[in-house]
Amino acid sequence: MGSEKVIGIDLGTTNSCVAVVEDGRPVVVPNRGGYKTTPSMVAIADSGKRLVGHIAKRQAVTNPTNTVFASKRLIGRKWNTPVVRSCQESLPYKLVEGPHGDVRIVLHGKVFSVPEIAAFILQETKIIADGHLGDDVKKAVVTVPAYFNDGQRQATKDAGRVAGLDVIRIINEPTAAALAYGFGRDIERTVAVYDLGGGTFDVSILEIGGGVFEVLSTAGDTFLGGEDFDHRIIDWLADGFQHQHGIDLRRDRMALQRLKDVAEKAKCELSAVRETEINLPFIITSGHDEALHLQASLTRETLEEMASDLIDRTLEICARTIQDAEIEGDGVDDVLLVGGMTRMPALQRRVAEFFGLEPSKGVHPDEVVAMGASIQGAALVSDKKDVLLLDVTPHSLGIMIVGGYFHTLIEQNSTVPTSKSHVFTTVKDDQTSVKILVFQGEHERAEQNEMLGEFLLTGLRRAPKGEVEVEVTFQISADGIVSVKAKDLETGLEQSITVTATSGLTEDEIVQMVEDSQEYMVELQAGREFEQQRHEAERMLAEIEGLFPEVTEIISGSSFGHDAVKKARGVCERARRAIAKKDLTELEETAEALGRTVNMFRGVVAKTRA
């Protein structure tokens, strides 16, 4: 048992990462392209093929409606919520309501649940790890944002099952980061982990000492991340363009996808340089059939101004966490920065000012979470108990009581696992059942919180009101997942109740998906990557070649157009050479440029024909 491998997976909004402990040390496993992180993207190509990771990302600009990114923002969410409504407006792929009030995604006419999409990504990380270890890995520890609620955790666990993994533990991302930071070091410190990724923000305060990692408090926002910074740039570009040309680029799906692409790129560049040029040739056509280009220069200063309130929001949450941890502001010894967004210089500066100390340089923001997960995985199957993790629940758990109020049973920031019992009595004569509504959150009105589910205790003895007593026990596991048990105190009869379909999937659906995914694994392991990539590249080449004469005629008049055509020819040549040489890495690198070219060509032609 002690030697069984457990992989640690950081299932990120933007990128995912997998690690495993080897010779007592956590090691991040690179994917086939040699990258240590893999884009959390899934697409269905025109051929019906499923594409995951880099290959999905590279074709995103040409296939925006069938390419899923940032699905972590949707996992475990209910359809009828403001968050999902805002996603519907801003995402290029189509969302529909699922049969259990959950969110589903439509790709090429086929409906997928969000855990299923997450499963495809987990499966990809499993394949990466299998290749490295030369073994079929079965067990995993998967990380989630600390602020995820029960539904989001349950959905992540289900995704693991669909991917053919036994998720032995779900752990919180900041906790995992702290674990990687403190592992094997003889330290006694209070550490703040500030984790800003693509879609979520978390902060946790931990005490580390003697192999014990105790979380004192945690808080966050599951809808605040790099995507919001990108949106600020998109709006800045689109507003400027609208001011100049009177056209709103956000209304054009293809233009919007291109804007999104350059916005993220510019944001990342501005972490290293002070100013960056943004060029989107032939972004749209004016009412007089004139091709329009977007050209702008964005400075780091402007970006900092635009995003300053987003950073403020994270710092307000930090202040709350410090208060909840009951330590003084200067009681923090180290600050760890986790997540790709923490590369932004303004963010580093503001965090340093807030905590009054320079953030620790020793951790890799993209890799530390997966490393921590692998350490926890190894500890869980090891006989040596050298790591003890004591985490907390991010949300209070309770029930709705008379008047619609929320009665808290388990307080926010309680150490997990934990349980609490509550005795319910009948309120009417001859009442044979009791309905209990379970919620998570901090609002005094139950309905303002997240409803986890409702259950009915039935078969109670007929008796005058108040006579029958039922003890209900609420449990939160070390994964942060809720379960409920009920016991008739008179008869001692127990009923175990699962909070219904919190992840949006029924048991039957999960079993079916597990079966489907096994077939896909067999297909993938047969090693079709080059063929997949070649097929995709040839499709794009054919499209570019078909459009060349028309595009050349439209745009070659301008020097701008002349350069664009020349560049496109170069890209096509490179792709053809890579196909001839059967060079997968080269082909993968060219695929992105091919995608951009197709998209630009389509844009030029579509706007002119319109």
Residues labelled catalytic: 10, 72, 173, 195
Q: Is residue 12 involved in binding ligand AMP (CB under 6 A)?
A: yes
Give the phi and the psi of residue 472 in degrees, each rounded to 5: -110, 130
Buried b (16+ CB within 10 A) or exposed e, 512-551: ebeeebeebbeebeeeeeeebbbebbebbbebbeebeeeb
| Smallest separation, CB 148 to ligand AMP (Å) | 14
| Smallest separation, CB 533 to ligand AMP (Å) | 23
Q: Which residue, 152 or 431, has its beta carbon nearer to ligand AMP?
A: 152
Q: Is residue 294 involved in binding ligand AMP (CB under 6 A)?
A: no
Q: Which residue, 164 or 339, has its beta carbon nearer to ligand AMP?
A: 339
Q: Is residue 31 involved in binding ligand AMP (CB under 6 A)?
A: no
| Smallest separation, CB 449 to ligand AMP (Å) | 27
Q: Is residue 302 involved in binding ligand AMP (CB under 6 A)?
A: no
Q: Taking the CB of residue 252, how many other CB atoms lie within 10 A of it?
A: 17
Report the first-to-last Cα separation within the chain, whole angstroms: 65
Q: Which residue, 226 or 561, has its beta carbon nearer to ligand AMP?
A: 226
Binding part of the chain for ligand AMP, among 138-146, 252-260, 266-274, 395-403 by CB under 6 A, reads 266-274
Q: Is residue 156 involved in binding ligand AMP (CB under 6 A)?
A: no
Binding part of the chain for ligand AMP, among 8-16, 349-357, 458-466, 550-558 by CB under 6 A, reads 8-16
Q: Is residue 90 involved in binding ligand AMP (CB under 6 A)?
A: no
Binding part of the chain for ligand AMP, among 10-18, 120-128, 419-427, 517-525 by CB under 6 A, reads 10-18
Collapse the DSSP code of 275 into the 3-class scheme (helix H, G, I; strand E, B; otherwise coil) and give the result.
strand
- 112/106 Cα distance (integer angstroms): 6
| Three-state SS letters, 570-605 | HHHHHHHHHHHHCCHHHHHHHHHHHHHHHHHHHHHH
Residues 320-359 within binding reach of ligand AMP (CB under 6 A): 339-341, 343-344
Residues 223-242 within binding reach of ligand AMP (CB under 6 A): 226
- Distance from chain centroid for Cα 172: 13
Q: Which residue, 117 or 555, has its beta carbon nearer to ligand AMP?
A: 117
Q: Is residue 125 involved in binding ligand AMP (CB under 6 A)?
A: no
> How is residue 475 written in tokens?
């449990």
> How is residue 359 written in tokens?
């953030």
Q: Which of 32, 29, 15 is nearest to 529 (CA)?
A: 32
Q: Is residue 271 involved in binding ligand AMP (CB under 6 A)?
A: yes
Q: Which residue, 12 or 115, has its beta carbon nearer to ligand AMP?
A: 12
Q: Which residue, 65 or 271, has its beta carbon nearer to ligand AMP?
A: 271
**264, 391, 450, 536: which one binds ligand AMP (CB under 6 A):** 264
| Smallest separation, CB 221 to ligand AMP (Å) | 14
> What are the angstrom distances between the C-alpha of 482 and each of 28, 67, 500, 510?
31, 33, 11, 19
CB 143 within 8 A of CB 114: no
Burial class (CB in 10 A: 0-12, 13-18, 19+), 170: buried
Q: Is residue 472 involved in binding ligand AMP (CB under 6 A)?
A: no
Q: Which residue is nearest to ligand AMP (CB)?
A: 226
> What are the angstrom distances between the C-alpha of 132 and each of 16, 26, 53, 56, 527?
16, 14, 17, 22, 15
Q: Which residue, 44 or 318, has its beta carbon nearer to ligand AMP?
A: 318
Give the DSSP H or E segment for 216: strand 212-221
> How is residue 422 written in tokens?
């509550």
Q: Is residue 14 involved in binding ligand AMP (CB under 6 A)?
A: yes
Give the DSSP H or E segment for 539: helix 529-555
Q: Is residue 306 involved in binding ligand AMP (CB under 6 A)?
A: no
| Smallest separation, CB 294 to ligand AMP (Å) | 20
| Smallest separation, CB 452 to ligand AMP (Å) | 26
| Smallest separation, CB 154 to ligand AMP (Å) | 21
Q: Which residue, 271 or 477, has its beta carbon nearer to ligand AMP?
A: 271
- 41/60 Cα distance (integer angstroms): 9
Q: Which residue, 220 or 561, has its beta carbon nearer to ligand AMP?
A: 220
**168, 268, 390, 514: which one binds ligand AMP (CB under 6 A):** 268
| Total of chain residues touching ligand AMP, rule CB under 6 A | 17
The 3-state DSSP composition of the chain as helix, strand, coil percent (nearest 5) reads 45, 30, 30
- Distance from chain centroid for Cα 302: 27
State the greatest distance between any 2 C-alpha atoms of the chain, in Å, as a whole number. Answer: 91
Length of the chain: 610
Binding part of the chain for ligand AMP, among 180-188, 246-254, 264-272, 590-598 by CB under 6 A, reads 264-272
Q: Is residue 222 involved in binding ligand AMP (CB under 6 A)?
A: no
Residues 6+ apart with CB under 8 A from 187: 208, 209
Residues 6+ apart with CB under 8 A from 379: 385, 386, 387, 389
Residues 191-220 within binding reach of ligand AMP (CB under 6 A): 197-198
Q: Which of 146, 575, 193 is nearest to 363 (CA)?
A: 193
Given the rule CB under 6 A, which residues bind ligand AMP? Answer: 12-15, 197-198, 226, 264, 267-268, 271, 339-341, 343-344, 366
